[in-house]
Structure 1
């Protein structure tokens, strides 16, 4: 019988729901390759109420020593192979490698690439380490590929970005949800219950997706636009809102600015023209407007579909305009929100591993922000470097023998060889580095290229905070001891900082790091100063902003933003005057088909961890190409035939999966696998001018039987 004191309340290590779970010792576990803990329900945690997807249920499998790294590895100069090494010698080699490149080429020749799965404490320490110890501006993270377009659009409109400005519990209480580019039935399955409850309460669900996904099957109305035309679709809906007299004139006058220019831009997008561009019929457009405007409250939620485009910021801005024009923002059970993907995609950028941000969601180019954070760090503000490159631009600069090339890279919790756009090019750039060190749980495809691989602890083996898609700051508690050969990322940064001349300032205790993070964030947009580990445990998480209050009761946190005012200087939300424009790459005679990419239920992100779990691999063993029967007929392809998908950047081969659930002009590939089925060999690195988001979601390809040239 398991003693109650052996049970640890914690959170799933995967997506931004951060579902609550309990870890308990597994009866009869003997150690070694046997996983010694099992997952149990944590029904009282409000986000998932005990529900878990297959990834969450099987998460302890990656704790097994049979699938994870348990000792440092270094590149043997004679054989070129990765071989085991002691921690001291591995750390010495890392310090020497980073210092050597910095001495030869300057501080900005050393780059750091982080991950949206790092805890707030690690993200904070990593940003501080890069800017102080390395003196480099060259830091970004894979969260740039997640919701940066939504963040840019949200900040432009509302003055601050938080994935959801309201709790998920508000979703069933609204009248209509317009869900754009999200297949949450596969990416966040426990969240689907909120949308089921919405419909049970009499509300409606509109899903916008080029495919009829499991999520779209739940919708009252499914709009299937051509990939890359979400911007035109949103503008067409807003045109109809104006034409049909559905604008909330009082709200627009009292709480917004910029409406005349945005209105004029929308009115140039006639419904019939939008139908030709998107493939969504005018009757469907009218039905969507009626459904969205009929109830007193409604929401627009976006995800990677509209965001992962070279016009993603403007696309999200158009959906925000729809909310503002109809008065569906800054009111109870209404608003715009983004379904953040990665476990700590929100907190990961709030506290310093994004190229242009300092802790507390402060901007690195702001003198006051620099002064505040420098004061906490005990350095002069002018000693802090300026903003660096965005994620893809950083990866593209790797190994370049130029004055501004990045010659050494420290990579944490990310696998860009699989997950980055134009992945073969990124792999080539990583191979050209003078020095590469990877800190990871498993030997990922990217780690296999490293000069040094450091095995680090993972979710159940360490304590730290994460911020979920609602802006709820959570605490994951250590439940089990890590293997003897593993150390935490905080311990790694502490040891490297000491070797590089910083004996103080980089504690390895997460509670100590969080206390400093609180001070660094104080007064910022993402103010965590009133949040403590004890409060998080007592309250099932605390919503930011939560400033520390002097002489009174603790600040309650902020579950719902914007009810009184928006976070702009004048308190008004700002319309964005945006217009449709083509995708960076449109189909032509040579590449006549559109490719869009995404996830499947049983795998997560680059698959570095989930591909090591037998149950998940059995459910989703490999990549595939989903295509319409009409396209399959033109190709002479049958179910399961090997198809080659070719873009201007590369070629990927995977079995055909023929389905009427996708448009005839579009193919879909999941992006979880390396090798010949690597979908990101094809994707376009064209960047949004504001968010610097690559255009993952649409590019031109040709499809042929794999024997073709």
Structure 2
């Protein structure tokens, strides 16, 4: 009998966190194969199958790199030289300009232990309020909308397996057929209603299964949600008993939705009134059987009115009586691998561990007690992600930044401007495994371990805490982020025991720091995780986990959910004769985030080597473009190059570009940094552009 030497763990990419086995070969390299788990049910997407190849890419960093001065090249140095230099520069800058002159930028891909330690490091070792993370660009609008409505944000407040048993699922701005292919197994039985400006793979699947695709003009999702609420209410689908018993403020929300009869909604969104009524009836009939879900994704959330848009979808769900009932509900499809856990434990500018608010005196006292410091020494709230990037260097804000697991030179909106802000820093440190586009700009680059070379926990899209197991040793000379933060903290004057490097020790402390908070992890012990227990938070010490939230009451003091009075407003910018088209962005099946990982995997780059612009043939013809030709897209902020991909189902007024590419192919050269007033989410999904043949060879 052959001994199984594989390690069971979870995929490094999206928040589905598919289970997999990593099998070592004779040459020491790992091969990924799927494992059975509720979210992926024994499946993997193309990225998951090839995930182990990222560990051995040719340009993997194994020694620290440092510049002697800003104009010099990066050269290899030893760890002590690099860490000593970082500490000296940070101490000097802090002495000159105060603690907020140093900033930290984290990631929704870091483990819970890293996220927690990064927030603790910023506030104790650096004393800075200037910390945020790239998850601000992912889940912030949905989180803000959920907190307003329910008093608590957990992306999906129910297991994903529940969704597969329902009759109807409405997907607003989500394309799991490409972004999370194994999730489609849970969506094969329900009838799908897909809200998306483009005929995505998910929209095609909906139509093939007898469902619906509603294609609104980009930036009008809020109007469409109001129109669907109007049609559902007038059509007799409102659950009046539920609304009376479990919610407040329906009348205020209805005052706004009352004006959005389907014909009016059609004029604004372009979605036919007949489709709006049919979708409301389809969803309403399933809701009457307590067998319907509304799920939102980035397409409907990444707007300067993203929080209000999410609130409008939640209003629809509440009117139909979906949330807080088994078999139905509202949820958000989290994007990044630890997008949920990453925002719960201190990376966000306004939060402390356990989803506590940093300006809450009781929260500060609790966390300071765990950390062994005076609460008055903790800084207050800082800038949100784009506002932090916008203020860097000669923008009048921090003069230094420490970057962990993020690539904002590609992923941030108005990327040309962000790159200029980063370049103006006095000092930039990046911890990464390759020279990403941002790491290549750094003064010091620290080589870090990757997902299969370390252990820790992640929290998936359902709020389930998962164990990531180490499957192989890292290359010689590479350190974990926990080791890097500990070494820097001691050089900055912190006691060594305050920053442990063992993930299980950090998890235990995280449990104490989060205990009693909204996201309570105090019962998430290594033993329970290793035993395979399904630990959905809140999971308090000595208590059972909570797979389904809100069944008895919502998290507001009176136990009721809140309708929100929201109104449609136009996007932050519109078209004009110079910029006659709307560009929207999104993901591809074969790539992930800024592409720093996936663009280094041969199979994935061979499948999608270049950025493309998806455009209707008539729109392309008016611009003098043919299929496969290089085009230039220009917005009021910058331009990008992409190959033309003719798509007869595309809207005539809309083009689509994926955001995984860098340099002149970076979609975020176009995007608008206009911010949602509540979530501080930038408007990634609507940019006015012009399309023309690319003048470059």
What corresponds to 1:702 in structure 2? Answer: 690
Shift of 1:247: 1.1
Distance across 1 between alignment mates of 2:354 and 2:508: 13
Shift of 1:704: 1.1
Shift of 1:537: 2.2
Shift of 1:77: 2.7
What corresponds to 2:630 in structure 1? Answer: 642
> Within 5 A, what are the aligned runs for 1:204-283?
204-219=191-206, 220-283=211-274
Shift of 1:76: 3.0
Q: Structure 2-normalised TM-score?
A: 0.97
Asked if 1:104 is matched to 2:103, the reply is no
What corresponds to 2:278 in structure 1? Answer: 287
What corresponds to 2:595 in structure 1? Answer: 607
What corresponds to 1:19 in structure 2? Answer: 18
Q: Deviations over 1:197-230 (max 9, x none)?
A: x2xxxx3110010111111011110000000000
What corresponds to 1:54 in structure 2? Answer: 46
What corresponds to 1:420 in structure 2? Answer: 412
**2:162 equivalent among 170, 174, 195:** 170
**1:445 equivalent among 431, 437, 440:** 437
Q: Deviations over 1:61-104 (max 9, x none)?
A: 11116231111000133861000000010011111121111111
Q: Deviations over 1:508-528 (max 9, x none)?
A: 011100000000000000001
What corresponds to 2:333 in structure 1? Answer: 339
Q: Is the 8 A contact 2:395 2:421 kept in 1?
A: no
Distance across 2 between alignment mates of 1:664 and 1:652: 20
Distance across 2 between alignment mates of 1:695 and 1:542: 34
Shift of 1:269: 1.5
**2:510 equivalent among 514, 517, 533:** 517
Shift of 1:632: 1.0
**1:123 equivalent among 115, 124, 129:** 115
After TM superposition, the structure 1 stretch with the greater mean CA deviation from structure 2, 123-132 or 538-547, is 538-547
Residues 631, 537 of structure 1: CA spacing in aligned structure 2 closer, same or farther, 3 A cutoff?
Answer: same
- SS of 1:376's partner is helix
Distance across 1 between alignment mates of 2:485 and 2:598: 27
Q: Deviations over 1:83-136 (max 9, x none)?
A: 000001001111112111111111011100001100000000000000011000
Q: Is the 8 A contact 2:237 2:284 kept in 1?
A: yes
Distance across 2 between alignment mates of 1:578 and 1:79: 51
Q: Is the 8 A contact 1:65 1:483 kept in 2?
A: no
After TM superposition, the structure 1 stretch with the greater mean CA deviation from structure 2, 488-497 or 64-73, is 64-73
Q: Is the 8 A contact 2:345 2:351 kept in 1?
A: yes
Shift of 1:407: 0.2
Distance across 1 between alignment mates of 2:253 and 2:219: 21
Q: Is the 8 A contact 1:475 1:541 kept in 2?
A: no
Structure 2 residues not aligned, in runs of 5+: none
After TM superposition, the structure 1 stretch with the greater mean CA deviation from structure 2, 608-617 or 70-79, is 70-79
Residues 325, 290 of structure 1: CA spacing in aligned structure 2 closer, same or farther, 3 A cutoff?
Answer: same
**2:640 equivalent among 631, 648, 652:** 652
Distance across 1 between alignment mates of 2:479 and 2:46: 28
CA RMSD after TM alignment = 1.3
Residues 65, 188 of structure 1: CA spacing in aligned structure 2 closer, same or farther, 3 A cutoff?
Answer: closer
What corresponds to 1:552 in structure 2? Answer: none
Distance across 2 between alignment mates of 1:673 and 1:636: 24
- SS of 1:24's partner is strand
- SS of 1:512's partner is helix
Asked if 1:381 is matched to 2:375, the reply is yes
Q: Deviations over 1:476-512 (max 9, x none)?
A: 0111000111000000000000000002300001110
Q: Is the 8 A contact 1:213 1:661 kept in 2?
A: no
- SS of 1:300's partner is strand
**2:458 equivalent among 466, 481, 501:** 466
Structure 1 residues not aligned, in runs of 5+: 550-554
What corresponds to 1:368 in structure 2? Answer: 362
Q: Is the 8 A contact 2:111 2:338 kept in 1?
A: yes
Asked if 1:322 is matched to 2:313, the reply is no
What corresponds to 2:549 in structure 1? Answer: 561
> Within 5 A, what are the aligned runs for 1:16-165?
16-26=15-25, 28-29=26-27, 36-43=29-36, 45-64=37-56, 66-77=58-69, 80-165=72-157
- SS of 1:206's partner is strand
Q: Structure 1-normalised TM-score?
A: 0.96
Residues 78, 270 of structure 1: CA spacing in aligned structure 2 closer, same or farther, 3 A cutoff?
Answer: closer
Runs (4+) of structure 1 exceeding 6 A deviation are: none
What corresponds to 1:530 in structure 2? Answer: 523
- SS of 1:143's partner is helix
Shift of 1:175: 1.7
Q: Is the 8 A contact 2:57 2:601 kept in 1?
A: no
